[in-house]
Each structure stands twice: as C-alpha cells, then as structure tokens.
A and B are shown apart, each in its own frame.
Chain A
C-alpha cells in the first residue's frame, strides 16, 4: 500500500513540442492501425498518444504475401505501406477515431517523391485532431533510383523543407537506421527546419526458408524490429541526442517500462512501442501502468528529469 501511494505520486508527464503528454508512451506507426482494434481492447486514451498507420497520397494495397517472418526476439515485415490513402484517412479514419480517441494523434506520412510528402501533409493540415506530423523517410525515392530519402542527408533535408512549408503542426522526421552515419541525417533534418526527430524505423533484414531455399518474405527483404533491435536503436538515439537540439521520439525494441526509461535516459523525450503490440496487444497499457513502479524503484520522481540522463 505504501509503495502504491508513492508510485501514484510519480510524475510521468512530458512535453512533446508544446503538447503535454500524460506519459511518454506512443504505440508506433504500423503496429496500431488507426487505433480502432486496440480501442476495443482497452481505453487507448491512457496512452501519451499513438502514431497512426503510414499514410500515403494514393491508396496502396502494399506488397504480395507472405509479408511476415519471424526472427529470434523479433520479426520482419514487408507490409509495403498498405493504407487507404490520405483522403480516406482525412474523411473517414479521423472522424471514426474521434469516437474513441480524444487526444492529439501523431500523423505518420510516407511518400515516394518530395511532392508526394508535401501534398499529403497539406491535405492533412487544418485537422485539429492531429498534434504532430511524423514523416517517414525510409521510403524509396522513385525519382532517385529507388534510394530511400532517409539515406541521403540532402534528400532528407529537401523533404523536411518541403513538408515544413505546408505543415500547420510540428514536424517530426522519422529516420531510417539503414545508414552509415545517422547523425549526419539527423543534422540535415534539423537544418531543414524539423521540429523533432523520431528513430528508429526498422532495420533491413531477411530470412530464408531451409525447405524451399527461398526467402520467406515475397518481397525478399523487409523491416526487422522487435526486442532484438533495442540496443541498436538505443545507441542511435544516444548519438542523435548529442548532435541535435530538437526533441527525440525514441523507438526500436521497446517492450517494457524499463526499456522505455532506458530509451529516455539515452535522450528520448517520448518513446514508441512497435512490434511488441502485435504479440501482446495490451503491452502499451501495461507499460503505462508499470511506469510509476519502475520510477519508484529507481528513485525517479519525474520522467522529464531523466531525458538524456546518460550523457
């Protein structure tokens, strides 16, 4: 009982670009849909917020199946950004979401050209349900030989500038870890006017089926995530924190309140939870509920105070 009262007084609030989050926990894009499936399991208003499924200008069916493979302590996905397109998100998903989610949501955006990104963000500007744009630059640039925007500092900067021109909300650039110098990309985004950085997206990975001698995933390669990538993601958040002044949403392999706090100590202001939601649908709720106890255990009175504490 004594511990419970103490735990209850722990301050889990953080400020993410002018919006106060009740706690730093944010289910990551692509693992939480547009919130509906989870709202049937628990009241998702207990979350800091969530980042909705990567949305593109046009509707996309995505890649052929199989899209999923298993790895030790993780998984690989090649969903291929299946989504109903930005117009349907604005006209249907957002109004539906209003019924069960009453906080500002993070709008995750993808594109295949600089213009795509800008148009998509423009269409979603003026929507008061949206609190932030999270711009996923792990996508291939169709005008750039298919190289991902997020692997070239100049391209990353260009996308940032184009989006910033039309966005009516803070812009968080979501980085790809599949680069030699994550810091250079983060700096380029900051120079381009980004308000925040989120990282990391999935690592490029693959599995081969020994029986068929063929890749498990139809697309051959896919995005590797889950607890296996936690140390890599944590290291990148740590490096980026040293290099930029803007706040960071840290993610990659988080599956417990302890992981979330570790991510914050590396430099994250808020923490994304991805693949863990798929294997334990209640995990984000559990993390939110466990935070005060873990804070108690490590003598943390306010989460704000531990952001970047490891530096």
Chain B
C-alpha cells in the first residue's frame, strides 16, 4: 500500500450517472487488476473505495515539475490511473464535480486482485453496472497474456447506462451485452447470456443479487469481487468482515475483495 497525491487529468460523464476519471500519480503499488484504491475527498471523513479500471505503471505525477524535482525523478514514467464510478451519493457526486488539476490523496495497492493464472484458455468476465470497471483492467491483462479467447458479459438496466462496450471490443474480447429492458443486446440478465456460453473459468463483479444468480448458473470454477462499507480499506478496523464457508472470517479489504467461488458462504 502506498499513499500518493494524484492529479486529475480528466473527469467526464460517459453514461447515465457514470463518470470516468483519469488521474496522474504514483501507481507503483498497484499490483494487479481487481485491486482498489481509496480516495480522500475534501469534506468527507472516510475515504471512498473505487476499483482500478485501468492503469499504467509509473511513479511521476506532474508534467510541470520544478527542475530539482525533475532531476531526482529522472526519467521516471508517469503513472496513470483510470477510475469509472457511478454518482450514487454525496461523495461520488462530489467526485463527479471535480475538475482537471484537482489533487487527491489516494491509497493505492489495496486488496488481493484476480487470480489471472486460473483463467484457462476461454475465460468469461461478467460485470454488472458499477461492477464493470475492474473487468476492464482484467480483460486487458488476460488479452496481453496471449492465446486466450476472452469473453465478456456486460449487464445494464437500460441503453443510457451502457459504457465501455467498444473499449472491451477494442481489446479484442468477445463482448455480449444484456439489458434488463432489452433496449440493447440480450433482453434479460447476464446469466441469460452466461447459460449459452462455453468457458473455462469466470470472474464476476456486480450487485449481490447478480452474484447470487451467477452462483446458480455458472458451470465452471470462478471468483467474485465483493463490496462492503469500509472504515479503513487496509485491514485495520474489522469493519468489512465477511463470514466464509469454512466458518472463518475474512476482510473484504485485505484478503478480498476477490474470493473464490468455493470460499463463499451464500
């Protein structure tokens, strides 16, 4: 885990209530897709946890550094972090209103991340709404590892909420869209698409009812990302504990947010 000051480069609306924020800063603590960051927002006591949607590793964060800083930073690559978030409450609404140039304190490198080595040669990535962002970094990493047919199922309520479909397609994944009202793609839920696919492993992130439905439908091994209200995000407060199938407890922020299918007590 690292704390660093990030500077917002871009913050724009990409779908209904949905925003994409690009930040520059030290991303060297981010190890893999499925991890999250914890953002400090002015006027709010607790940080806001948001999944890493995309990142480029680097430690420098300012283009316009002073000469001395430039010298010590040498030719360090600039770190970039992309977050996609829904404005659902006071904090995320505040985030949506922040302009380029705003600086934020960000804790990076939180949580365990996805087990990419388990993917097999035809994994399926399932994201619902605000659960889609971490699937993008995962899709990118799996495509980069080569020799895989990566299938992606994106679930939305309706047409206005759709985002990132073309970005997943541009990575070379086979993309399926499901909308609850049938305005685009398959009418229904991600599980209606999942039932028709062949896959070696699954990765899923989205609202709890969606995860439960996947648990009933999925035919392979797989893993899920969970959300919980967090006090710290780095394992100190026990605010985010989850009871597991074996009776033990795990912290969503530290041992999670990704848990194997077999670990979960539904």
Residues of A within 8 A of B (CB): 30-33, 37-38, 40-41, 53, 61-62, 65-75, 77, 79, 82, 216, 226-227, 275, 277-282
Distance (whole angstroms) from the CB of B160 to the closest CB of chain A: 20
- The docked-state distance in angstroms from the alpha carbon of A131 to that of B252 is 33
Chain B contact residues (Cβ within 8 angstroms of A): what range?
20 to 34
Binary interface encoding of chain B residues 230-250 relative to chain A, with 1 for a CB under 8 A from any of its CBs, else 0:
111011111111110000010
B266 at the A interface (CB under 8 A)? no
Q: Which residues of B sit under 8 angstroms from A71, Cβ to Cβ?
A: 45
Shortest CB distance A286–B (Å): 11
Q: Which residues of B contact A280 (CB under 8 A)?
A: 3
* Residue ID in chain A nearest B241 by CB atoms: A82
- On chain B, the residues within 8 Å of A38 by CB distance are 236
Contacts A72-B45, A278-B231 given; does A65 touch B242 at CB 8 Å: yes
Given A61-B249, A70-B45, A281-B3, A77:B239 Cβ within 8 A: yes
In the complex with contacts A70-B44, A74-B45, A281-B3, A82-B238 CB distance below 8 A:
yes
29 residue pairs of the A-B complex, CB under 8 angstroms, read A31-B236, A37-B236, A38-B236, A40-B1, A53-B238, A65-B229, A65-B240, A65-B242, A67-B231, A67-B239, A68-B229, A68-B231, A70-B44, A70-B45, A71-B45, A72-B45, A74-B45, A75-B45, A75-B46, A75-B231, A77-B239, A79-B238, A79-B239, A82-B241, A275-B45, A279-B40, A279-B45, A279-B47, A281-B236
Chain A residues with Cβ under 8 A from B1's Cβ?
Answer: 40-41, 281
Within 8 A of A (CB), among B159-210: none
B107 at the A interface (CB under 8 A): yes
A68 to B241, CA, bound (A): 11
A278 close to B232 (CB less than 8 A): yes
Contacts of B229 in A (CB 8 A): 65-69, 216
B241 near A61: Cβ-Cβ < 8 Å: yes
Q: Check if A66 sits within 8 Å of B228, measured CB to CB.
A: yes
Give chain B residues whose Cβ lies under 8 Å from the Cβ of A69: 229
Residue of B nearest to A40 (CB): B1
- Decide: A77 and B237 in contact? CB cutoff 8 A: yes
Besides A72-B45, A77-B239, 20 other A-B contacts (C-beta < 8 A): A30-B237, A31-B236, A33-B236, A61-B241, A65-B239, A67-B238, A68-B237, A68-B240, A70-B46, A71-B45, A75-B46, A77-B231, A77-B237, A79-B241, A275-B45, A278-B232, A278-B236, A278-B237, A279-B45, A282-B3
User: Measured between alpha carbons, how far is A280 from B46 in the docked complex, in Å?
Assistant: 10
Residues of B within 8 A of A31 (CB): 232, 236-237
Residues of B within 8 A of A (CB): 1, 3, 40, 44-47, 107, 228-232, 234-243, 249, 254
* CA distance in complex: A19, B46 (Å): 35
Q: Please give the distance in Å from A34's CB to the nearest CB on chain B.
A: 10
Q: How far is the CB of A229 from chain B (nearest CB, A)?
A: 12
The residue on A at minimum CB distance from B239 is A68
- Greatest chain A CB density within 10 A among B238, B242, B254 is at B238
Point out the residues of chain A lying under 8 angstroms from B234, CB to CB. Answer: 37, 281
The residues of B that contact A68 with a CB separation of less than 8 Å are: 46, 229-231, 237, 239-240
List chain B residues, Cβ under 8 A from A32. 236
- Asked if B232 and A279 sit within 8 Å, CB to CB, the answer is yes
A275 to B243, CA, bound (A): 24
Q: Are the CB atoms of B236 and A279 closer together than 8 Å?
A: no
B235 contacts across to A, CB distance below 8 A: 33, 37
Q: Tell me the nearest residue of chain B to A70, going by C-beta.
A: B46
The reply to whether B243 and A61 form a contact with Cβ atoms under 8 Å apart is yes
Q: Across the two chains, which residue of chain B brings its CB closest to A76?
A: B231
Of A32, A33, A37, A72, chain B has the most CB atoms within 10 Å of the CB of A37
Chain B nearest Cβ from A68, distance in angstroms: 4
CB < 8 Å neighbour of A281 from B232, B239, B242: B232
Which residues of A have CB within 8 Å of B238?
A: 30, 33, 53, 62, 67, 79, 82
4 interchain residue pairs of minimum CB distance = A278-B232, A68-B239, A66-B229, A68-B229
Contacts of B236 in A (CB 8 A): 31-33, 37-38, 277-278, 281
What residues of A have a CB within 8 angstroms of the CB of B243 in the complex?
61
Beta-carbon nearest neighbor of B44 in chain A: A70
The smallest C-beta distance from B238 to any residue of chain A, in angstroms, reads 4
- A216: chain B residues at CB < 8 Å are 229
Measured CB to CB, the closest approach of chain A to B254, in angstroms, equals: 8
Nearest Cβ in chain A — how far from B22, in angstroms?
24
Kindly state the separation between the CA atoms of A49 and B236 in the bound complex, as whole angstroms: 17
- Measured between beta carbons, the chain B residues less than 8 angstroms from A277 are 232, 236
| A39 to B: closest C-beta gap in Å | 11
Taken together as a complex, chains A and B put the C-alpha atoms of A73 and B229 apart, in Å, by: 17
With beta carbons under 8 angstroms apart, the residue of B40, B228, B231, B249 that contacts A82 is B249
Nearest A residue to B43 via CB reads: A72
Q: How far is the CA of A160 from the CA of B238 in the complex (A)?
A: 28
